[in-house]
Structure 1
Amino acid sequence: MNKFKLALKKIPGWAITLLLVGILYTTGLHTEAIGQVQRLLLATGLKKADVPETSSATIAEENPTAGAAEMVGSGFKITSMDGETIDFGSLKGKVVFMNIWATWCPPCIAEMPNIQHLYDQVSSDKIAFVMLSVDEGGKEKVQKFIRRKGYTFPVYMPANQLPQEFYANAIPTTFIISPEGKIVAKQEGMAEYDTPEVREYLSKLAETD
């Protein structure tokens, strides 16, 4: 045993680190590990999501033609984990919180717990959550991930080409869409969404319909 301990001490630190990284990548756990580290960053409160002013008057001024504009992403279709295909345009009239993510994306994994808590706090028939996975290779991987994590928010995958309005330089990217079908907030990169500001903004936006 002493010889074994002595042999371990002679192994350079960089070699042990390289071995651990190799194991994480081989087992696919590196995404989870990095995600957990980034989740700790979110817990500091330094990455809170930015939302516009939350007064009803301000929101009403930003949407003076309620019901007249075409829904952003018109013609885009999404498929639920149950296999139901939905026309994105059918969500017009609701506040839409749409998060574009993937199972291989550590920042996506990092922010998901706070999105789940936000969903638990504000979910209603006037607010629709669209957790849009852009994973390739079918929905089985996505379903397995969601079940393992115990998330209950609605998860979808694109059924056709992602509209240009939803293109972003990185994932995760989150859009908040007004009941009139207009993008009123966009956040590229991970953020903390389970905040009083975001909850109030979503609720106020839902009241203007």
Structure 2
Amino acid sequence: MNNKKLSIKDIPGWAIMLAVFGFLYLTGLHTEAIGQVQRLLLATGIKNADVPETLQNPDASAVVDAAAVANKEMAGAGFRMVDLQGKQVNFESLKGKVVFLNIWATWCPPCIAEMPNIQKLYEKVGSDKIAFVMLSVDEGGMEKVKKFIDKKNYTFPVYMPAGQFPQEFYSNAIPTTFIISPEGKIVAKQEGMADYDTKEVREFLQSMAKK
């Protein structure tokens, strides 16, 4: 009779990997693990946010007549949100500011991967004329989102939908990020994760805020 003891060397690599991923999935850590891997990808710089040419040269854009702007409806008009303190906010109240809108969820690894660089961007731009809207589409309730944000020590403003989602903000993927001008026009849209803590994005946001 063969009494040879089974050692870890005898276990196929695929079985070990399956066990590891099974453990991560059952404990809910798989989202964090995948997010960490994708964060390393962002750190390489190959996934920097796209900044359209018109955004790199905001002075070259047409000057918008103030009276005409006042009569235009902004993107997301009529949309209502609620912050993590339960306060309801009308999206239209942000008109006149540059809006950085990021649609995300706690179960989304690429969302988790890009959040640290969004936090850095939020800290660096430091302007009351630039509004950050981190819009969670989680269905698990506000407490789940609040627990996640508190655990990560993020300080950017987080909201959840409190009404029908605007058609302008529909996307085939999350995360999706929109940049909306003070006039209420969507001037940039990025589907999928990206690094927003770049000189180009910071300067664009700040330039638009100075108009």
**Shorter chain as normaliser: what TM range?**
over 0.9
Alpha-carbon distance in structure 2 between the residues aligned to 1:152 and 1:207: 24
Tell me by how many angstroms 1:13 deviates: 1.0
CA contact (8 A) 2:58 2:204 kept: no
Tell me by how many angstroms 1:50 deviates: 1.0
Partner SS for 1:132: strand
The residue number in structure 2 matching 1:174 is 177
The residue number in structure 2 matching 1:106 is 109
Q: Pairwise CA RMSD of aligned residues?
A: 1.4
CA contact (8 A) 1:171 1:189 kept: yes
The residue number in structure 1 matching 2:162 is 159
CA contact (8 A) 2:102 2:178 kept: yes
The residue number in structure 2 matching 1:116 is 119
Tell me by how many angstroms 1:187 deviates: 0.3
The residue number in structure 2 matching 1:58 is 60
Q: Does 1:93 align with 2:96?
A: yes
Partner SS for 1:124: coil
CA contact (8 A) 1:93 1:180 kept: yes
The residue number in structure 1 matching 2:79 is 76
Q: Could you give the per-residue CA deviations for residues 89-127 of structure 1, whole angstroms, max 9, x where no partner exists?
A: 010000000000000000000000000000000132100
Alpha-carbon distance in structure 2 between the residues aligned to 1:174 and 1:63: 24
**Sequence identity (%):** 70
TM-score by length of 1: 0.94
Q: For residues 43 and 185 of structure 1, do their structure 2 counterparts lie closer, same or farther at Cα, with a shift above 3 Å needed?
A: same
Larger displacement relative to structure 2 (175-184 or 10-19)? 10-19
Give ranges in structure 1 of 5+ residues lacking alignment. Answer: none
Moved over 4 A (4+): 62-65
Aligned length: 204
Q: For residues 37 and 179 of structure 1, do their structure 2 counterparts lie closer, same or farther at Cα, with a shift above 3 Å needed?
A: same
TM-score by length of 2: 0.93
